[in-house]
């Protein structure tokens, strides 16, 4: 009964391919996020959704497209993958209006060859 779960855990793919990462939370939170952690461990927000509505979009290339079918799910689709996309992608959730505590998923290690 993992609180924030994301799949797959590892993703190895060729340049130019399209891939998706899925995230689900069972905490009843209404806000979900995608963070990117690069090889130097730097954590940077990419997107944030509140109740299926996009509220933060941090100058991410439009090859990255988040989709939130409902407030418990936030998926990330990446088109035309590039070498520089290799990183760990973390999904997270929080409850707006209560506090800002983030609960992270276990991460997806994306390797673009």
Partner 1 sequence: GENVEQHPSTLSVQEGDSAVIKCTYSDSASNYFPWYKQELGKRPQLIIDIRSNVGEKKDQRIAVTLNKTAKHFSLHITETQPEDSAVYFCAASLPGGGNKLTFGTGTQLKVEL
Question: Residue 105 Cβ, how far from partner 1 at the closest point, in Å?
Answer: 6
8 Å CB contact between 51 and 69: no
Tokens 């779960």 belong to 5
Give 10 or 16: the residue with its C-beta nearer to partner 1: 10
Q: How far apart are CA 31 and CA 68, in angstroms?
A: 10
32 vs 21: CA distance, rounded Å: 14
Is residue 68 a contact residue for partner 1 (CB under 8 A)? no
In this complex, which beta carbon is closest to partner 1, that of residue 22 or of residue 107? 107
**The binder of partner 1 chosen from 21, 24, 31, 74 (CB under 8 A):** 31
Asked if residue 108 lies in contact with residue 92, where contact means CB atoms within 8 angstroms, the answer is no
Note the residues at the interface with partner 1 (CB under 8 A).
Answer: 31, 40-45, 48, 50, 55-56, 58, 90, 94, 96, 100-102, 104-107
């Amino acid at each position: 009964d993992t609180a924030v779960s994301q799949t797959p855990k590892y993703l190895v793919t060729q340049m130019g391919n399209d891939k998706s990462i899925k995230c689900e939370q069972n905490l009843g939170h209404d806000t979900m996020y995608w963070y990117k952690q690069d090889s130097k461990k730097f954590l940077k927000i990419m997107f944030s959704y509140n109740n299926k509505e996009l509220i933060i979009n941090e100058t991410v290339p439009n090859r990255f497209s988040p989709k939130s079918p409902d407030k418990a799910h936030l998926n990330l689709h990446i088109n035309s993958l590039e070498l520089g996309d290799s990183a760990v992608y973390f999904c997270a959730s929080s409850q707006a209006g209560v506090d800002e505590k983030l609960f992270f998923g276990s991460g997806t290690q994306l390797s673009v060859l």
